[in-house]
Structure 1
Amino acid sequence: MARVVLVTGVSRYLGGLYARRLSTDAGIERIIGVDVIPPKHPIGRAEFVRADIRNPMIGRIMKQAGVDTVVHMNVIATPKDTGGRVTQKEINVIGTMQLLAACQKSDVVQRLVVKSSAAVYGSSPRDPAMFAEDMNAKSTPRTGFGKDSIEVEGYVRGFSRRRPDVEITMLRFANVVGPQIRTAVTDYFALPVVPVPLGYDARLQFIHEDDAVSALVTATTGPSVGIVNVAGDGFLTLLQCLAMVRRPVVPVPMITAGLIGNVVKRSGLADFSPDQIAFLAFGRGLDTTRMRTVFSFEPQYTTREAFQAFASHLRPIVPGLEEVGGVVSGAAGGGAAALARVLERLQQ
């Protein structure tokens, strides 16, 4: 049973939500939240400690507090949240290595919970309809968050071999959405004009932010279960999602997707990578049998309900855009050039 819990990334939205939820569990004696910046949101009865997990000081914090459970939520998905790709990779990979080194030296750590991502499966036209936990990516992510997540999981597996006495649960989440959370995916669907890969309509799965936090709490206080996919029931296609957010659409050939990604990234409205573009073209499916039968977790929201909760809190699209059948027309038409003009208008 967890008594003293250390959570990384407590200043991020999900980290704060998790700390508040865990604070309601009377069985948890102490919660220590670490991050490089103070949280702007409430963190319940968690004690904030300003610390960088890339620094060996994290080991001293764990030793002094007698931490028996570590919840690693500081694997960052978007470089714009950290100041750039170099910093993002350092926090994700070097930070994880330092944290695991501290766990390995500790004689009181009994459990490690890692917030991972379904991004480890990649996205390609050769993918199976559903990825089970024992399957490998058909096309391994070569850049960005997906590559970082694979490296993080590799270090965790190495740690488990060195410390077989430590219980490990690694949750591979589908894209987390909801009324408050902001991610690369929610930023994409919030664009005033949304570029979509021409000729593709990917199947997508989501998990509501509340369900994601509930799964992390279950992993902290319940039995250890190894690797588990976590996603809401059902699928939505990309075009169904766009109909729900009521955004104008610009179909673009895959050959120009990189250009579009750069235009959107420069606008500051969303963060795009080649892996994200592949995800929008080919999608991803998760087999959640293990989530129910082994982890004993049932999300409260289906994929559709989770996405609807996000869509219902979106701001209306920018005034003045013309829309015919969901496809941008008139002055806003013309693919990449049109999207660039719209984004320039928004920055004025």
Structure 2
Amino acid sequence: MTHTVLVTGVSRHIGARVASVLAADPAIDRVIGVDTVPPPSLSRDGGVPPGRTEFVRVDLRSPDIAQVIAAADIDTVVHMSLVSAPSRSGGRALMKEHNVIGTMQLLGACQRSATVRRVVIRSTTAVYGSSPHDPAVFAEDSDPGEHPGHGYAKDASEVEGYVRGFARRRADVVVSTLRFANFMGPGIDSPLTRYLTQPVLPTVLGFDPRLQFVHEDDAVEVLRRMATEDHPGTFNVAGDGVLLLSQCARRAGLPTIPLPSPAFRLMGDLVKGTGLTGYSAEQVRLMRYGRVVDTTRLAAELGWRPKFSTAAAFEDFVRSRGLPSRLLPTAAGR
């Protein structure tokens, strides 16, 4: 039974939603959210109404996280703190420290804990990379066509390696690793959603990648189940079906401008200063080769399927942003 849950990354949208859902579960006694800054829904001094998430300001790169776990007798850890893009102030070096060093500190604290019995890790399908040598569909045991060598994908691959080491050392702890496709939904702000809200959509000339999305509601539900039930292993998480990038553009009513790959990257650098998004090397590869994963293992393990297909998740995102939608009537269904 789950009694006390620690959720990292609660200042970001999905982390805050997961903490809120768990705090509303009467079977859970206490939910502690940690981050370097408090989420908007929590007061700045950390004082929150009874029954709500308790916030503790902690930088995961410091040893302080071990004190939080020990003091609160944490039995379940939900690690939501991986960031997918560098901040303007910290840059790539700080992003890597946060993702990799922060996770190492967290896992070290869990390893030393006498109370932790379940650890849930938010990872990403980006660990499979994007290359012309990819299989049509990635299963959890598929090897990448080319191993990620930079950015968020490389961080996530390193994190998963440390998670596997932790699972070997603490065989008594249930460890669940969730490889999410790109989050989509009304509350999501990511490099991909910023890309998809530009007035004109640059594309890579000669390529029309297959994309998968997972709606934020389904992501939260999967994380809730993993935090309250024992489901060890690694699982792909994505909505059913795929969309081509050209279909995304048509359904959002966005004109496209095909560019050679170097020009695509250059345009990303030019718009970075406007507050939209820059295009990392891994995003350029995704916009060329795409990525599709198989979710059979998750469906069999949970006896559950996502409420939103990839197309329906994108439709909800388009409508929430007020884009000049040209959605097909069938897009809302699975």
Same fold (TM over 0.5): yes
Deviations 1:102-138 (A, max 9, x none): 0011011101000100000000111111100011211
Aligned to 1:71: 78
- Taking the TM superposition and a 5 Å limit, the aligned residue runs for 1:27-46 are 27-41=27-41, 45-46=52-53
Matched, 1:4 2:34: no
Aligned to 2:167: 160
Q: Which moved more, 1:99-108 or 1:75-84?
A: 75-84
Q: 2: distance between equivalents of 1:316 and 1:203?
A: 21
Q: 1: distance between equivalents of 2:117 and 2:274?
A: 45
Matched, 1:17 2:24: no
Q: Please point out which of 191, 195, 199 is paired with 1:192.
A: 199
In the TM superposition, residue 165 of structure 1 has moved relative to its aligned partner by 1.0
Q: 2: distance between equivalents of 1:262 and 1:271?
A: 5
In the TM superposition, residue 247 of structure 1 has moved relative to its aligned partner by 1.6
Q: 2: distance between equivalents of 1:189 and 1:212?
A: 20
Aligned to 1:85: 92
Q: 2: distance between equivalents of 1:266 and 1:274?
A: 18
Q: Residues 126 and 156 from structure 1, CA distance in 2 versus in 1: closer, same or farther, beyond 3 angstroms?
A: same
Q: Residues 164 and 136 from structure 1, CA distance in 2 versus in 1: closer, same or farther, beyond 3 angstroms?
A: same
Aligned to 2:124: 117
Q: Please point out which of 239, 245, 254 is paired with 2:246.
A: 239
Q: Which moved more, 1:149-158 or 1:218-227?
A: 218-227
Aligned to 1:329: none
Aligned to 1:326: none
Tell me the amino acid that sits aligned with residue 212 of structure 1.
A
Aligned to 1:328: none
Tell me the amino acid that sits aligned with residue 282 of structure 1.
Y
Aligned to 1:320: none
Aligned to 1:172: 179
SS in 1 for 2:302: coil
- Taking the TM superposition and a 5 Å limit, the aligned residue runs for 1:162-311 are 162-311=169-318
Q: Is the 8 A contact 1:78 1:271 kept in 2?
A: no
Q: Is the 8 A contact 1:82 1:88 kept in 2?
A: no
Q: Please point out which of 50, 56, 65 is paired with 2:63.
A: 56
Runs of 4+ with deviation above 3 angstroms = none
Q: Which moved more, 1:17-26 or 1:60-69?
A: 17-26
Q: Is the 8 A contact 2:118 2:230 kept in 1?
A: no
Compute the TM-score of the two structures, normalised by the length of structure 1.
0.88
Aligned to 2:327: none
In the TM superposition, residue 280 of structure 1 has moved relative to its aligned partner by 1.0
Q: 2: distance between equivalents of 1:47 and 1:6?
A: 10
SS in 1 for 2:171: coil
In the TM superposition, residue 268 of structure 1 has moved relative to its aligned partner by 2.4
Deviations 1:143-189 (A, max 9, x none): 11001000110110111111111110000001000011111110100
Q: Is the 8 A contact 1:228 1:295 kept in 2?
A: no
Unaligned runs of at least 5 residues, structure 2: 43-47, 325-334
Between the aligned residues of both structures, percent identity stands at: 49
In the TM superposition, residue 235 of structure 1 has moved relative to its aligned partner by 0.6
Q: 1: distance between equivalents of 2:89 and 2:155?
A: 14
Q: Is the 8 A contact 2:212 2:238 kept in 1?
A: yes
Tell me the amino acid that sits aligned with residue 195 of structure 1.
P
SS in 2 for 1:79: coil
Q: 2: distance between equivalents of 1:183 and 1:248?
A: 21
SS in 2 for 1:80: coil
In the TM superposition, residue 294 of structure 1 has moved relative to its aligned partner by 1.7
Q: Is the 8 A contact 1:32 1:46 kept in 2?
A: yes
Deviations 1:6-50 (A, max 9, x none): 000011111111111112211111100000001113597110001
In the TM superposition, residue 225 of structure 1 has moved relative to its aligned partner by 2.7
Q: Is the 8 A contact 1:38 1:48 kept in 2?
A: yes
Q: Which moved more, 1:292-301 or 1:275-284?
A: 292-301
Aligned to 1:131: 138
SS in 2 for 1:196: strand
Aligned to 2:154: 147
Q: Is the 8 A contact 2:252 2:323 kept in 1?
A: no
Q: Residues 316 and 211 from structure 1, CA distance in 2 versus in 1: closer, same or farther, beyond 3 angstroms?
A: closer
Aligned to 1:26: 26
SS in 2 for 1:278: helix
Q: 1: distance between equivalents of 2:322 and 2:99?
A: 32
SS in 2 for 1:228: strand
SS in 1 for 2:66: helix
Q: 1: distance between equivalents of 2:88 and 2:172?
A: 35
Tell me the amino acid that sits aligned with residue 163 of structure 1.
R
Q: 2: distance between equivalents of 1:81 and 1:99?
A: 25
Q: Residues 130 and 272 from structure 1, CA distance in 2 versus in 1: closer, same or farther, beyond 3 angstroms?
A: same
